[in-house]
Amino acid sequence: MTAVVRTEGLGRKYGRRWALRDCDLAIPAGRVVGLVGPNGAGKTTLLNMVVGQLAPSAGTIEVLGGRPASGPAQLAKVGFVAQDTPTYASLTVADHLRLGARLNPGWDAALARDRIERLGLDPARRAGRLSGGQRAQLALTLGIAKRPELLILDEPVAALDPLARREFLASLMEAVAEHSISVVLSSHLMSDLERVCDHLVVVVDSRVRVAGDVDDLLTAHHRLTGPRRDAARLPSGQHVVSASHTDRQSTFVVRTDGPIHDPAWTVGEVGLEDLVLAYMTPKTEDRPALEALR
Amino acid sequence: MIEFHLDAGSGVSPYMQLVRQVRHALRLDLLREGDQLPTVKDVVAQLAINPNTVLKAYRELEHEGLVAARPGVGTFVTRSLAGGSLAAHGPLRQDLRRWLAKARLAGLDDESIEALFMTTFRAAAQEDIA
Amino acid sequence: MIWLTLRQFRLQATVALATLVAVTALLALTRIDLVDDYADGIASCTATGGCERFKLQFFDDHQSWFTGLVTVVVGLPGLIGAFWGAPLITREIEAGTHRLAWNQSVSRSRWLAVKLGVIGLASMAAAGLAVAIATWWSDPLDKAGADRFPRLSPVMFDARGIAPIGYAAFAFALGVTAGVLIRRTLPAMAVTLAVFAGLQLAVPQYVRPNLITPVERTVTITPENMQGISLAETTLTVRARVDEPGAWVLSDYTVDASGRKVKSLPVSLAAGACAPPPPTTVPDGKESVDGSGRGPAEKCYAEIARLGYRQHVTYQPGDRFWPLQWAETGLFALLALGLSGFCFYWVRRRIS
């Protein structure tokens, strides 16, 4: 499978602080990738490097086989809907379509016109007077109608109400179904990501914690509940993602490739949201020891 | 034509929800042989879900021999689930009622009954796999 | 890209164009009388004499318009820098729209090149038009006031010729640079205005005089070249007149017999040989005597010459107006190019 985005040791520093570091990713083509993590974890930094908005401080990045934003041809292959879906407030909807047509050799005018029509946007209306949802849809139209192979969206629905959010994601998914583009979108609304994503990248504290196809992730992760036990005593093939203990009971979320045979455990499935949360909560390896002192 | 819906809180993966809804409709005779399933694009536009999810669900149904894809036209139902199995529902329900009555006599409340049923159901399913 | 740049510039261009048209119309109307009056006046004064007095009077009558136009031309580049230059990139950064623009199939360099090129040219055109119109309207007044406000004098130099075009290019680039560095429109506008105004004050003072090596003369003070003599407290100073029309005098001081600069002629002269004629004496310790007409007596000049004092004058001759204009325009154009180059570097490397 060819990778649409491949990074090795990718990092970006702001001053002395690493916004993202040691990032190794290989995102396969044809996926809708969800990029999740707490605010300030480095999601926007990663996306900005993918579109070439930002230059890396360390490591390499290859997008669709080229260096991000290295020239008009590369720019034409990648669409980007930036955070807060910026549009030119004083320009009309029609002006935006004209802008897209003039600045993109592969512009699909019919597609753009059709989308605007179906969305019920008045072409003569200034973008500054559109609602948040309409503005996001306009920005998405610009991103889709340039007919990219890869579309990047940075928190596109964060500021939208539930209805606008649903409509936005529906038209995004429609575009994916119609034009088979690969998509990477960041969000912290897990319910949305659960619907639309088939590949997940979790970024916490400037590092990629886990990445993979959603199905694979779900089958590889289990919730183990049983009598209290130390995390260190789990078999070597089971990587503890999160652990919590009460006086008598231990609950682990583990990642493992093989089946779990130990009859002492009640084995449960981990939903996508819980899985992400397990990676986001800081690992407290020393907590059992502390509790043992009591 | 059926309309899909997704229950985000169910804990069941979206693709499995689609598969179950089709099977359910087939059992209840809401979908019959020859009926067309919504196109991937329609489902995607309606539910705002990943097209691959829909494709996967349809592939699963195809694998089960319930539907068939005709390239360029759509996906159509090839077999109904109503009928044979529907007939078996009556006696089974009777057995279940009797068992429920016994459980109540033994002093189990609703939640206990449900827990007992689910653990037994899961254990049996796991034994089948193993 | 050109289309987008022009589309974004539409409002500003419309405002500028409307103002230009209105002002030009007004000027065209008033100019008719202005030209006629001047022609009539010159015709009659040539016949009867007293042209100097007519020119003085004519200039004074229209001075407010004249200075108004000069102010507009001098101030325009600063305004262009603040209102066209500073917001050019900053407004995009503030609204985040640079992210939209940079992800169309156009490289960042091309985006910036077109923006700088198109609006930069528009800035230069605007300044050029303003100078042309102001010069055209002021033509009779430029003639009438040539003695008092030669075009080489600091402010007039800024308002005539081609230098304003260079200023506009520079101020525009300055505005853009301030914008990309500060990233906020209002502060960038303020900084642009402040820096440009500072340069407009500093350049005539320190740079322009030396663009071409000035002419230096050391002359004996005579009744012909004496501009004025004045006594203040304990200093007696003389100013000389440069015998070339329209010259820009840079320095004018007295040297003694050994060629050293002196701050004052011997004060004793004021009571002796150079004592003013009685009627003009005012007992307040400071008095000025007009060099023309009833000047100091011959013996005053003789006495100054005998003591070995001579007048040292440096100046730019009036016919150097165009060479100086070209030199200064070139200088500002170079600065504008340098700033533009910096903007390219900064926008490509430091903005995301």
Q: What is the pLDDT of residues C80-96, one digit of tens each?
A: 999 999 999 999 999 99
Give yes or no for a contact between C40 and C150, defined as CB atoms under 8 angstroms apart: no
What pLDDT is recorded for position C350? 84
Tell whether B72 and B91 lie within a shared domain. no
Name the residue in chain C with its Cα closest to that of A127: C97
What are C111-149's pLDDT values in tens digits?
Answer: 999 999 999 999 999 999 999 999 999 999 988 888 888
What pLDDT is recorded for position B85? 65
Could you tell me the pTM of the whole model?
Answer: 0.83
Q: What is the share, in percent, of chain C residues with pLDDT greater than 90?
A: 58
Between chains, do B53 and A178 touch, taking CB under 8 Å as contact? Answer: no
Residue B5 has pLDDT above 60, yes or no: yes
A125 in B contact zone (CB under 8 Å): no
A3 in B contact zone (CB under 8 Å): no
- Average pLDDT for C292-316: 79
What are A79-102's pLDDT values in tens digits?
Answer: 999 988 999 999 999 999 999 999
> Helix, strand, or coil here: C303?
helix
What is the CATH number for B58? 1.10.10.10
- Number of neighbouring beta carbons within 10 Å of residue C201: 11
Nearest alpha-carbon partner for A34 in A189, A216, A201: A201
Distance in Å, alpha carbon of C179 to nearest chain A alpha carbon? 18
Burial class (CB in 10 A: 0-12, 13-18, 19+), A87: buried
Residue C265 has pLDDT above 90, yes or no: no
Question: In which element (H, E) is residue A253 found?
Answer: strand A249-255
Burial class (CB in 10 A: 0-12, 13-18, 19+), C177: buried
Q: Where are the alpha helices (DSSP H) in A27-161?
A: 43-50, 72-77, 93-103, 109-119, 132-145
What pLDDT is recorded for position A19? 93
What pLDDT is recorded for position C292? 41
Tell whether B20 and B51 lie within a shared domain. yes
What pLDDT is recorded for position A28? 93
Q: How many domains does chain B have?
A: 2
What pLDDT is recorded for position A286? 41
Q: Which residues of C touch A106 (CB under 8 A)?
A: 105
Tell whether B21 and B58 lie within a shared domain. yes
Q: What is the share, in percent, of chain A residues with pLDDT greater than 90?
A: 62
Tell whether B16 and B70 lie within a shared domain. yes
- Average pLDDT for C156-172: 95
Tell whether B12 and B60 lie within a shared domain. yes
- A162 or C297, greater pLDDT: A162
> For chain A, which domains are there?
3-205 (3.40.50.300), 217-292 (no CATH)
- Number of neighbouring beta carbons within 10 Å of residue B23: 16
Lowest mean pLDDT among A177-191, A254-268, C68-82, C86-100: A254-268
Q: To the nearest whole number, what is the mean pLDDT of chain A?
A: 89
Tell whether B107 and B60 lie within a shared domain. no
Tell whether B98 and B54 lie within a shared domain. no
What pLDDT is recorded for position C276? 67
Residue A288 has pLDDT above 60, yes or no: no
Tell whether B73 and B93 lie within a shared domain. no
Residue B130 has pLDDT above 80, yes or no: no
Between chains, do B50 and A178 touch, taking CB under 8 Å as contact? Answer: no
> Domain of B59?
8-77
Q: Which one of A184, A196, A269 would you mutate to disrupt binding with B, by most B Cβ within 10 Å of its Cβ?
A: A196
Distance in Å, alpha carbon of B49 to nearest chain A alpha carbon? 5
Tell whether B41 and B65 lie within a shared domain. yes
Residue C310 has pLDDT above 70, yes or no: yes
What are C6-50's pLDDT values in tens digits?
Answer: 999 999 999 999 999 999 999 999 999 999 999 999 988 888 888
C-alpha span between C262 and B25 (Å, rounded): 112
Chains touching B (3+ CB pairs < 8 Å): A
- Would you place residue C328 in the very low, low, confident or very high pLDDT band (cuts 50, 70, 90)? very high
- Does residue B117 form part of some domain? yes
What are C222-249's pLDDT values in tens digits?
Answer: 877 877 788 777 788 888 888 788 889 8
What are A172-222's pLDDT values in tens digits?
Answer: 999 999 898 999 999 888 888 888 999 999 999 999 999 999 989 998 999
Name the residue in chain B with its Cα closest to that of A195: B49
Q: What is the share, in percent, of chain A residues with pLDDT greater than 70?
A: 95
Tell whether B70 and B99 lie within a shared domain. no
Ordered by start, the domain boundaries in chain C are 2-212+320-350, 222-308
Q: Which of A166, A198, A271 sits opposite B52 (nearest CB)?
A: A198
- C288 or B6, greater pLDDT: B6
Residue C284 has pLDDT above 80, yes or no: no
Distance in Å, alpha carbon of C216 to nearest chain A alpha carbon? 55
Between chains, do B48 and A197 touch, taking CB under 8 Å as contact? Answer: no
Question: In which element (H, E) is residue C74 found?
Answer: helix C63-80
ipTM: 0.85
- Would you place residue C194 in the very low, low, confident or very high pLDDT band (cuts 50, 70, 90)? very high
- Does residue B2 form part of some domain? no
C-alpha span between C17 and C13 (Å, rounded): 6
- Does residue B1 form part of some domain? no
Which tokens in the block code for residue A193? 């990501």
What are A141-150's pLDDT values in tens digits?
Answer: 999 999 999 9
